[in-house]
Structure 1
């Protein structure tokens, strides 16, 4: 059938379809996945990604920071300890594990301490008395029979070797720390009975270079806690190991207190405290840096030695990792009750900045985590 010419579509309409037709065809091709545009994205989708990334970072950061903050503090253990009745004895420069009977035989074989009685009545008035001076070597740390009960597969050999090693170290012997004698030396307690010998002990200790010995003993304390040395016994609060650690960490403040002299008498305050019955309570002051509180019945003398000793301790307590930071305030309050409210300062000084909880191995981890966190925040903006 013939179509009238006036009803035929124009030639340009045949060659160039209408815009509506093109749009409809384009939309159909998009729905078939043939075009470059993508379906519309929910406006909430990006926010959910941001929240998920932030939660993931925070959840990974919290355990790390918690572990770092807890590092360096003594960890308690619920493990029951078996009591080893054998006795470690320091003989001829080495520790030896002995039974009680072997130790008794050793004591019987050792010669008694020689003493000399010097009559000074001819040089003094008639009221003068005799003086007994003990002779022999100066006291050494850990020379008593302490129940060590060392742990480890080697029977505590690695820990004993470490202890023997630093006791024989010339640097340790040159430092001759008073802090290592106060709790772990039976010969030191014997020396305190003699004015002459205890003075010799203090003079020998005060000859050391305080700064060098402080660094040396702080480093030694960290080595002591190593798993290769006495780490297992440190965690189990072994008596010998804990005493050694406390003595190493409290060296600096006990050096200052032990070497303090009364300007009126030129006598060492420590020597006066242990030999003069009128100041016997002052002896307890020297246990404060070793994490021992001042007994409630102790009444230290309200004198120069007490005041200056507490000033040394207060200064040291700025390092909150030291034991003196735990015992200073209670002791100061007790002293002020006896000597007056302002005799000594009862407040701790401003704490020193410390990064003791972050080791050099953990610092890069924190840095990388922080950089990752900043990068992700920049990406999700």
Structure 2
């Protein structure tokens, strides 16, 4: 079997995960999840609150259907991830946009977020939701590329991972680009999807402005302990270019921890 990127470029082979499947057609009540579809915090300065209100109604932002932000801020995405059909349908939408154009939009929004006119004060004060949004904006490109990988059966690697009933930790690596370390002891399935996803992350891990620069090496070493010493690169590849932004930091919200716990350990 061979993995291929959205543009058809072949990569390394993969074996499909055992997933939960639904035999019915795509549910008629399906709607594309949206980032920030839950209530926003009231703990913002006035300029930052205005920025977020503008962000969630920005057509350019919403039309990009950013996986990296849905991953943490969308209850609709969380629900879709429980169904192979729904998450596949979601990925068809998130992967159907112009990557370069949307990367530029997200990078620009990350700069706007941290400007003095918007959320600079909140960012400096480590407001959790601001840091969460900032890291999600920066991580758009690596997570676009990783989430859009398919195997030769046409299955998305992420859909295989998040619905794999025999290995509930398979989705953990997808949180690395938003600054969330892989839990100690987690052992994702040693398949080629994981190998190729980590290769993508390695190419971004050498960029200190990307959140994954803080999480890649530890996760790679942990994966190699379970999958073999040469399964993935133990250290991120050297930096080839820098994305815009400040030094990254991340404080996961309590809500995110609860959602992850409920999903993977219910």
TM-score relative to the length of structure 2: 0.78
2:240 aligned partner: 352
1:325 aligned partner: 213
2:24 equivalent to 1:140: no
Q: Which of the pair has more CA radius of gyration?
A: 1
Deviations 1:216-248 (A, max 9, x none): 111110100112111211111212211111110
After superposition, the Cα gap between the structure-2 partners of 1:231 and 1:134, relative to the gap in structure 1 and judged at 3 Å, is farther
2:104 equivalent to 1:225: no
Deviations 1:132-166 (A, max 9, x none): 94714221111223544113xxxx2x222222222
2:167 aligned partner: 279
Q: 1:270 aligns with which of 158, 167, 175?
A: 158
Instruction: Give the structure with the higher percent strand.
Output: 1
CA distance in 2, matches of 1:173, 1:129: 28
Counterpart contact for 1:148–1:238, Cα < 8 Å: no
After superposition, the Cα gap between the structure-2 partners of 1:240 and 1:300, relative to the gap in structure 1 and judged at 3 Å, is same
2:54 equivalent to 1:160: no
- The gaps in structure 1 that reach 5 residues or longer are 1-127, 359-381
2:181 equivalent to 1:293: yes
2:131 aligned partner: 242
Instruction: Report matched runs for 1:48-63 at 5 Å.
Output: none
After superposition, the Cα gap between the structure-2 partners of 1:173 and 1:129, relative to the gap in structure 1 and judged at 3 Å, is closer
Number of matched residues?
225
CA distance in 2, matches of 1:173, 1:147: 20
After superposition, the Cα gap between the structure-2 partners of 1:137 and 1:160, relative to the gap in structure 1 and judged at 3 Å, is farther
CA distance in 1, matches of 2:98, 2:224: 33
TM-score relative to the length of structure 1: 0.55
Deviations 1:186-239 (A, max 9, x none): 121111122222111111010111111111111110100112111211111212
| Secondary structure of the corresponding residue to residue 212 of structure 1 | helix
Instruction: Report matched runs for 1:73-88 at 5 Å.
Output: none
After superposition, the Cα gap between the structure-2 partners of 1:307 and 1:355, relative to the gap in structure 1 and judged at 3 Å, is closer
The higher-RCO structure (CA 8 Å, 6+ apart) is 2
Q: 2:77 aligns with which of 177, 182, 188?
A: 188
Counterpart contact for 1:262–1:304, Cα < 8 Å: no
